[in-house]
């Protein structure tokens, strides 16, 4: 029996996932966490064979959890289950150390397929993201330039951008990410430059729209 740890800050979703997974022969849920810190603690005590995590978590996000797991428990595979657009986030998650990426609006059997594939030693990605990754490498030399403006942002810049979109102040962003307000200002400037935005007001409007569209689309 393979054991799975669920990491998501929504209890009802964790409960639903638990029922879905436990109904599948050969796998069971050994625990559920709502934050990165709680997840790392449960990994030590529950000894899961696989971790399924969301990207949006309170405090440190799912990408940070994946990076921590890659260092602390390199043999423990992680699948991301997220509402975030896979074209923007799947490559980031896989680069951080995840072994699979599944959208939350995908059919339930897609997640079960990913679980079995990753437990069997494989890597799971949808046809959409597989095609996207292959296309980005089609030149055969180095990494292709990002096709979409959002892909030009680093993982940290994406965190800052999304927090701007939830109306967080510089002080709030700095406190949440454990960085200085001056560093937040630097990230804001880099984001504006990469996205071709004129000023802070335009950045804020763009970030809020990004969040709204993401929520409505999922």
Pair of tokens at residue 117: 């594939």
Structure tokens at 207: 């970030």
**Segment 80-108, tens digit of pLDDT:** 999 888 877 888 898 889 999 999 999 99
Q: Distance between alpha carbon 24 and the CA centroid of its chain, in Å?
A: 25
The per-residue pLDDT of the chain, averaged, comes to 86
CA dist 14 and 89 (Å) reads: 21
pLDDT of residue 40: 94
Question: pLDDT tens digits, residue range 30-63?
Answer: 999 999 999 999 999 999 999 999 998 887 889 8
CA distance 55 to 63: 6
Q: 53's torsion region: left (phi>0), alpha (psi -120 to 50) or beta? A: beta
Rounded Cα–Cα distance for residues 28 and 26 (Å): 7
CA dihedral sign of residues 103, 105, 107, 108: positive
22-36 pLDDT, tens per residue? 999 999 999 999 999
């Amino acid at each position: 029996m393979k054991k799975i740890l669920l990491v998501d800050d929504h209890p009802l979703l964790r409960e639903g996932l638990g029922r879905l997974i436990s109904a599948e022969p050969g796998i069971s849920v050994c625990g559920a966490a709502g934050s990165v810190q709680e997840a790392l603690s449960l990994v030590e005590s529950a000894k899961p064979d696989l971790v399924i995590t969301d990207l949006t978590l309170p405090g440190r996000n799912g990408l940070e959890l994946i990076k921590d797991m890659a260092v602390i428990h390199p043999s423990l595979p992680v699948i991301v289950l997220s509402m975030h657009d896979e074209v923007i986030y799947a490559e980031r998650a896989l680069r951080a150390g995840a072994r699979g990426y599944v959208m939350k609006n995908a059919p339930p059997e897609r997640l079960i397929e990913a679980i079995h594939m990753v437990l069997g030693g494989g890597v799971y990605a949808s046809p959409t993201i597989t095609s996207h990754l292959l296309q980005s490498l089609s030149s055969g030399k180095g990494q292709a330039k990002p096709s979409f403006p959002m892909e030009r942002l680093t993982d940290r810049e994406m965190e800052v951008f999304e927090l701007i979109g939830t109306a967080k102040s510089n002080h709030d962003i700095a406190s949440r990410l454990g960085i200085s307000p001056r560093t937040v200002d630097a990230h804001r400037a880099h984001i504006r430059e990469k996205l071709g935005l004129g000023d802070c007001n335009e950045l804020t409007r763009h970030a809020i729209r990004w969040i709204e569209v993401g929520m409505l689309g999922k």
